[in-house]
Amino acid sequence: MNELLLSLADDELVIGWRDSEWTGIAPLLEEDVAFSSIAQNEIGHARAVYELLADDADALAFDRPLEEYRCAPLVELRLLDWAHTIARRWLYEQADELRISALMQDDDARVAGLAAKINREEAYHRMHAELWRERLAETPQFRTAVAELWPHALGVLPAEQRGALAARVELEEVDPVERGTHSAELAELWEEMTMVRRSAPAGAQW
Amino acid sequence: MAAVEVPRSEQAFLEYVQAGGQVETTDWLPDDYRAKLVKFIEMHGNSELMGVLPEREWILRAPTLQRKLALTAKVQDEVGHAQLIYRVVEDLGKPRARCLDDLISGTSKFHNVFHYPTKTWGDVGVIAWLVDAAAIISQKALLKCSYAPYARIMKKICWEESFHILHGRDVILAMVTGTPEQFGLVQEALDRWWGPLMQFHGNPIPADDDPMFRWRIKSQGNEEARQQFLDGYVPQILELGLTVPDPKLRKRDDGVWEYTEPDWDELKSVVTGHGPRTAERLAFRRRFIEQEQWVRDALLVA
Amino acid sequence: MIWEIFRQDRKGQPFEHAGSVEAPDAEFAEAWAREQYGRRGESVALWLAPREAIHAVTEWSDEFDLKYRRVDGYSIKARLKEARERASAESG
């Protein structure tokens, strides 16, 4: 259970970090504002799950060595173009809904309750992703992006849920890019994410 | 008695706004008023948009989840302010796409403080606390702007800015009560930002010679704003054990602050596009505006 | 399209014009207005209307100065003073 929750938290943390990179540079100002809320929500979800797992959410978020993060390759990718960003948002939210729905049935009431809260917030994320997907669906940029990210998206979920994901998004299952190895991109992200924090002794106030 | 009518001669209009009258988008506006208004408001929008860039680097480096969220929310607000402001400009006749073109081509301006580098987390605190404070003073003076649509958005902008100052103060307080190195980061950032802060409100032309004040677009002169900033913030800076890098800074018995004359040449050079980070930041903006034009086209939105 | 946004602070309060958003359709307008006018929990409800749907009215005529329709149309003070003086003279 801890592994599953830690994966969820790390996925939300890293995709939130990636999504927050668009703050200030999204294609439209209105979308910039809305998209930033999504990124903040994801960080909020990560924090809430970390708090289930440990007393100090920041310590879990920042102070582990790189190898101990359990995030999926999909979220690690640095995607500074809108087509890939929306494709990832859409695929990720579809996968996450399956994962979260399972957690909503968890025996641990705290986990089930938190999963339900996350799900209610992610309903807005799904609506947003669908809004964009509809608009961009026929563009070559978006189609290419979905095709490139699809193997990574499959890797977000455990094997038994991948068929369901493929059915939802109407794509054929392919060989997934599995969790387990971290990319150079995550290493770069981790460096930047932790640089200020590492500049002071452990336990310093910020 | 008929409803309040906005006069249609420039002199009568001037008297009307100087007596506190406000105008709406559909009222008659003198050409000079309209031109100055658009330029002023556009510069504000540009500043919010460019102000995002120095801060966004630190979103990715924030040392706690709470700081990350607060800083992201602050920058999000600034983008939101740009949206509000450019809508006002657009309703005055200049479309957003043209404003952005003029911004990235260097034709239009943005405030001095956003042309400078941010070097440490200390800058994050100093910007949110002091740069935003200097901005709020100007912004509060715009709440009474004679052009009502702008005055109305200023209310939302000022409300959101108040969160930024709280956040900034919290960041600073955590550092000045932290390690000696953290204290040092704040002092070092303050040393670098003091010059631009003192230039921020502009050179002290008398209010009556300032067309923005004459037309009651601004309700306060530059020097008045600067004095207000010093009055409010120097005591706060000093009480934390920080020093202000100006040996001449002192408050006279009559309540007026004396200080080393700011470098007006530096201000002029910076706002005309020669700041340390101007070119790099405009290029960064241009890159993303151009890269994502296809998205706007797909939405059929300019 | 320009969408005018009206927001309600809390239940029972009037809807007030808050600003405008340019969006291709109602769904985008909603997604964006939600965040621009509600991310800090400052609104309990929003109304969105395309700008063209707003019919603005900005002029009235009052050629014959019908004072009884306005608060400044009654000058109570002088008459009240007279009435009080008369009442105190009669009872005094």
Q: Given a cut of 70, is residue A142 above it in pLDDT?
A: yes
Gap between the Cα atoms of A6 and A8, Å rounded: 5
Taking the CA of residue C19 and the nearest CA in chain A, the distance in Å comes to 13
The answer, for B180 touching chain A at a CB cutoff of 8 Å, is: no
| DSSP structure string for chain B | -PPP---SSHHHHHHHHHTT--B-TTS---HHHHHHHHHHHHHHHHHHHHHHHHHHHHHTT-SSHHHHHHHHHHHHHHHHHHHHHHHHHHHTT--HHHHHHHHHTTSS---GGGGS---SHHHHHHIIIIIHHHHHHHHHHGGG-SBHHHHHHHHHHHHHHHHHHHHHHHHHHHHHTS-HHHHHHHHHHHHHHHHHHHHHT-----GGG-HHHHTTSSSS-HHHHHHHHHHHHHHHHHHTT---S-TT-EE-TTSPEE-PPP-HHHHHHIIIIISTTHHHHHHHHHHHHHHTHHHHHHHT--
Residues of chain A with C-beta less than 8 angstroms from the C-beta of C21: 30
What per-residue confidence (pLDDT) applies to B2?
Answer: 42
Other Cβ atoms within 10 Å of A113 Cβ, number: 12
pLDDT along chain B (302 residues), means of 10: 70 96 95 96 97 94 97 97 98 97 96 96 96 96 97 96 94 97 97 98 91 94 96 97 97 97 96 96 96 94 50
CATH number of A3-199: 1.20.1260.10
What per-residue confidence (pLDDT) applies to C63?
Answer: 85
What per-residue confidence (pLDDT) applies to A22?
Answer: 96
Pick the closest to residue B264 from B191, B193, B190, B195 (CA basis): B195
Helix, strand, or coil (residue C10): coil
C-alpha distances (whole Å) from C31 to each of A34, B156, C25, C48 are: 7, 19, 10, 11
Gap between the Cα atoms of A157 and A178, Å rounded: 9
Strand partners, C48: C5
What per-residue confidence (pLDDT) applies to A100?
Answer: 97
> Could you tell me the residue ranges of all domains in chain A?
3-199
Other Cβ atoms within 10 Å of A172 Cβ, number: 6
What per-residue confidence (pLDDT) applies to B41?
Answer: 98
Gap between the Cα atoms of B98 and B71, Å rounded: 29
* Choice between A52 and C64, residue whose per-residue pLDDT is larger: A52
3-state secondary structure C59-77: CCCCCCCCHHHCHHHCCHH
Sort C61 into a burial class: Cβ within 10 Å, 0-12 / 13-18 / 19+. exposed
The answer, for A197 touching chain B at a CB cutoff of 8 Å, is: yes
> Whole-prediction pTM value?
0.94
The answer, for A143 touching chain B at a CB cutoff of 8 Å, is: no
Q: Given a cut of 60, is residue A1 above it in pLDDT?
A: no
What per-residue confidence (pLDDT) applies to A189?
Answer: 96
Residues of chain C with C-beta less than 8 angstroms from the C-beta of A33: 32, 35-36, 39
Q: How many CB pairs under 8 A join B and C?
A: 39
Gap between the Cα atoms of A129 and B55, Å rounded: 27
The answer, for C38 touching chain B at a CB cutoff of 8 Å, is: no
A43's tokens: 């960080």
Mean pLDDT over A77-97 rounds to 97
Q: Which of B72, B294, B301 is closest, CB to CB, to A23?
A: B72
Residues of chain B with C-beta less than 8 angstroms from the C-beta of C23: 301
φ, ψ dihedrals at C16, nearest 5°: -120, 145
Chains that touch A (3 or more CB pairs under 8 A): B, C
Helix, strand, or coil (residue C46): strand
Residues of chain B with C-beta less than 8 angstroms from the C-beta of A201: 179
With cut-offs at 50, 70 and 90, classify the pLDDT of residue C91. confident
* Dihedral sign of CA atoms A30, B72, B289, B201 in order: positive
| C-alpha B288, offset from chain centre | 23
Q: What is the CA radius of gyration of chain C?
A: 25
Which residue of chain B has the CA closest to A197? B63
Gap between the Cα atoms of C53 and C47, Å rounded: 12
Q: What is the ipTM of this complex?
A: 0.96
Sort B8 into a burial class: Cβ within 10 Å, 0-12 / 13-18 / 19+. exposed
